[in-house]
Amino acid sequence: MVDCIRGTSPVSEPKDFRASFDSDSQRTPVRVAFVTRRTTPHVTKAGDDRVMTNPDALLRVAVAVMALLIVLVVVSLLFDAPLEGLANPLQTPNPAKAPWYFLGLQELLHYFPPVVAGVVIPSLVVLALVVIPYFNVNVEAEGFWNRNGERKSILVWVAVAALSAFLVWFSVYAVLVPTLVSGGALIVTAAAPPQDKGFGGWLRSKPLPFWIMTWFLVVAITLTVIGTCFRGAGWSWVWPWGEL
Amino acid sequence: MNSLYSRLRGTAVWRSVFRSGTGDTNLHRSLTVQQNIFLHLASVKIRRRALEFGVTWYLGTLSMASFVILVVTGVLLMLYYHPSVPQAYADMKDLQFVVSAGVFLRNLHRWAAHAMVVLVFAHMFKVFYRGAYRPPREFNWVVGVMLLLLTLFLSYTGYLLPWDQLAFWAITVGSNIISAVPAMGAKIRFLMLGGHTVNANALLRFYVLHCVILPLIAAVFLAVHFWRIRKDGGLYTGDKPRE
């Protein structure tokens, strides 16, 4: 504040104010102090919506940590971590599965060549995640159908149809089904009345980034669940509860 | 009990460690945060709304908590573990039948690891759906994506260490995918495994990555991640700033 009123003598000879600019005012936000006669700059806001980190936040953090610890301890007492026989390079289990969080990728490996499923797709996913905040992606923008509904509806139909055709071409039904579900939900919500207070109205208030991320989430969960529970010898389809 | 605690806080030794002094004024409460190397990554005050459960579901806190649990149980497990073939597997059996509470220790480490992967993913999606990734928090989102990858690498490198069939073939499947990288896939795989197949060299490399290199990198990224929350204006609450 002193910087901004540099050149005046703030103590003696009260003047209303004089504002001056720093040489780097192009880069730093300009702050102008208005110090009028016989008044002091003071905070007018009475209520503060902030609380002390100690103890308010620390206490809640401690409770959260202990809750997690209790849950994990109980689970650890009830369920043993898996341990199979000694590693044997000569005896390949069928199927050989990666850790569960990579089983979505391993499921994709079933449909696409390794360079696509194992390298291109994960790289693109990571790249897409990193650039999200730099591309003006706004998940709190207005609902997708709020403007230009007619034109967008054609675009959505074309996009979902093209993606589905591609997935059918490669027989990637594990991605096709969640794509049809989320794409279908997007198309159906166009019909929901804007004033709807329920789930339909909530969905209708969501912009395109919400729909794309949700599609990605649904696809990722579907692939992971299929790879974990529904794949047996030779990566063939099995039911987790066995043959009926 | 309370007076005992205040007397303890008044002792010369305590005051030499914690400079914030005794007393329960807001000044003292501020100082306990500000003067502590770990707590000072957080601000002294926090928006009341940011503490509500629905805003964050405490997923970031819980991710960090699982990381701490993993460090503690992991260090204890290191006391019983040899990263060599086939001793590594024998150590698993020792944990099971010889070491007191060895099974519990390994269980806790295993389930906390799965929990951390789930929590970090959930944290990322929660941050996205709340719009908290947007400027000025864009760099912290990128740090978060790096932490997600580090979490996956930590879990994946730990997966091999028991040296059972499950571990061996999971890493074999995963490392085969690496060799699909164009031009230098085989080279990367060789660098990762220290050989052409998953063998004793791979176990040692994964052990060093799992116990030293990746946790250190993760700790640095975590410090930046927490510090940037504060520097980027605190936890995002979605509220418009009041006049």
pLDDT tops 80 at residue B229: yes
Q: Are residues A18 and A123 in the same domain?
A: no
What is chain B's mean pLDDT, rounded? 93
| Per-residue pLDDT at B124 | 98
The rounded distance, in Å, linking the Cα atoms of B153 and B15 is 42
B241 belongs to a structural domain: no
Read off the pLDDT band of A30 (50, 70, 90): low
Read off the pLDDT band of A37 (50, 70, 90): low
Read off the pLDDT band of B243 (50, 70, 90): very low
pLDDT tops 80 at residue A38: no
Query: B26, B45, B64 — which closes off a domain?
Result: B45
The rounded distance, in Å, linking the Cα atoms of A115 and A93 is 24
| Per-residue pLDDT at A207 | 92
Smallest Cα distance from A16 to chain B, Å:
25
Q: Are residues B35 and B116 in the same domain?
A: no
A94 belongs to a structural domain: no
| Per-residue pLDDT at A2 | 45
Q: Are residues A121 and A212 in the same domain?
A: yes
* Sequential DSSP letters for A169-226: HTT-HHHHHHHHHHHHHHHHHTTS-TT--SHHHHHHT--HHHHHHHHHHHHHHHHHHH
Are B73 and B108 in contact, with CB atoms under 8 Å apart?
yes
Q: Are residues B57 and B169 in the same domain?
A: yes
User: Poorest-confidence range of A23-37, A74-88, B199-213?
Assistant: A23-37
A65 touches chain B (CB under 8 A): yes
Q: What is the mean pLDDT of residues B44-53?
A: 92
Read off the pLDDT band of B21 (50, 70, 90): confident
pLDDT tops 90 at residue A209: yes
Count of domains for chain A: 3
Q: Are residues A13 and A59 in the same domain?
A: no
Q: Are residues A168 and A197 in the same domain?
A: yes
B83 belongs to a structural domain: yes
Q: Are residues A61 and A119 in the same domain?
A: no
Q: Which of A53, A75, A132 sits opposite B33 (nearest CB)?
A: A53
B115 belongs to a structural domain: yes
Q: What is the mean pLDDT of residues B114-136?
A: 96
User: What is the CATH classification number for the domain harbouring B167?
Assistant: 1.20.810.10
| Per-residue pLDDT at B209 | 97
Read off the pLDDT band of A9 (50, 70, 90): very low
Are A71 and B112 in contact, with CB atoms under 8 Å apart?
no
Residue B100's alpha-carbon distances to A72, B80, B124, B171, in angstroms, are: 19, 11, 37, 29
pLDDT tops 80 at residue A46: no
Suggest the residue from A86, A123, A130, A206 to mutate for an interface test with chain B (most B CBs closer than 10 A).
Answer: A86
Q: Are residues A66 and A126 in the same domain?
A: no
pLDDT tops 80 at residue B242: no
Q: What is the mean pLDDT of residues A175-180?
A: 96
User: Poorest-confidence range of A112-116, A145-149, B39-43, B212-216?
Assistant: A145-149
Q: Are residues B89 and B144 in the same domain?
A: yes
| Per-residue pLDDT at A20 | 59
Are A192 and A182 in contact, with CB atoms under 8 Å apart?
no
| Per-residue pLDDT at A3 | 45
CB contacts under 8 A, A 178-217 vs B, are 210, 213, 217
Q: Are residues B25 and B77 in the same domain?
A: no
Q: What is the mean pLDDT of residues A189-214?
A: 87
| Per-residue pLDDT at A109 | 92
Both tokens of B94, joined, read 């020792």
What is chain A's mean pLDDT, rounded? 85
A-B contacts at Cβ under 8 angstroms: 197
| Structural domain of A70 | 52-78
Indicate the Cα dihedral angle B146, B128, A131, A164, nearest 10°.
110
Is B197 in Cβ contact with A139 (below 8 Å)?
A: no
Q: Which of A54-58, B39-43, B77-81 has the highest mean pLDDT?
A: B77-81
Q: Are residues A133 and A221 in the same domain?
A: yes
Q: Are residues A65 and A36 in the same domain?
A: no
A120 touches chain B (CB under 8 A): no
Q: Are residues A110 and A229 in the same domain?
A: yes
User: Poorest-confidence range of B27-36, B69-78, B113-122, B165-174?
Assistant: B27-36
| Structural domain of B29 | 1-45
Is B131 in Cβ contact with A140 (below 8 Å)?
A: yes
Does pTM surpass 0.95? no
Chain A environment of B199 (Cβ under 8 Å): 89
Name which residue leads in pLDDT, B2 or B124. Answer: B124
Q: Are residues A72 and A7 in the same domain?
A: no
The rounded distance, in Å, linking the Cα atoms of A214 and A71 is 28
Amino acid of residue A151: R
Q: Are residues B196 and B114 in the same domain?
A: yes
Residues in chain B: 243
B239 belongs to a structural domain: no
Write down the ipTM of this complex.
Answer: 0.93
Suggest the residue from B166, B184, B197, B239 to mutate for an interface test with chain A (most A CBs closer than 10 A).
Answer: B166
pLDDT tops 80 at residue A1: no
pLDDT tops 70 at residue A241: yes
Q: Are residues B41 and B60 in the same domain?
A: no
pLDDT tops 90 at residue A5: no
pLDDT tops 70 at residue A26: no
User: Poorest-confidence range of A195-199, B34-38, B170-174?
Assistant: A195-199
pLDDT tops 60 at residue B72: yes
Q: Are residues B169 and B191 in the same domain?
A: yes
Are A96 and A87 in contact, with CB atoms under 8 Å apart?
no
